[in-house]
């Protein structure tokens, strides 16, 4: 019985670790921006959930207001003053 409990706890721990480590997601939506303190803050509005994701390091991309995109992204870290949604770092971008 002790071994069964130990196996269950071990499996649960491994599943939790693998689930937490994979913060990659695919989002299809529309690009928008707001201006804060003279800076454009780009974000994508997910077409399925209508949720906003703020794009970190957007200066690496040539976005346009209303542009339809499909992106792969990872959870971003850092501080921003725009605060338009969850922060993400782009891994890939496809124009639709």
Domain boundaries, the chain: 24-95
Per-residue pLDDT reduced to its tens digit, 53-64: 999 988 888 999
When the pLDDT of each residue in the chain is averaged and rounded to a whole number, the result is 81
Q: CA-to-CA distance for 71 and 9, rounded, in angstroms?
A: 36
In angstroms, the CA 5 to CA 34 distance is: 53
CA distance 92 to 27: 11
pTM over 0.95? The answer is: no
Q: Which fold has domain 24-95?
A: OB fold (Dihydrolipoamide Acetyltransferase, E2P) (2.40.50)
Give per-residue pLDDT as tens, 31-47: 999 998 888 899 999 99
């Amino acid at each position: 019985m002790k071994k069964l409990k130990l196996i269950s706890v071990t499996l649960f721990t491994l599943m939790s670790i693998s689930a937490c480590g994979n913060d990659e997601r695919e989002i299809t939506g529309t690009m928008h921006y707001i201006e804060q303190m003279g800076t454009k803050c780009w974000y994508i509005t997910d077409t399925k959930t209508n949720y906003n994701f703020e794009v970190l390091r957007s200066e690496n991309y040539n976005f346009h207001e209303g542009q339809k995109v499909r992106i792969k992204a990872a959870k971003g870290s850092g501080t921003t003053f725009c605060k338009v949604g969850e922060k993400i770092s782009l891994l890939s971008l496809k124009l639709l």
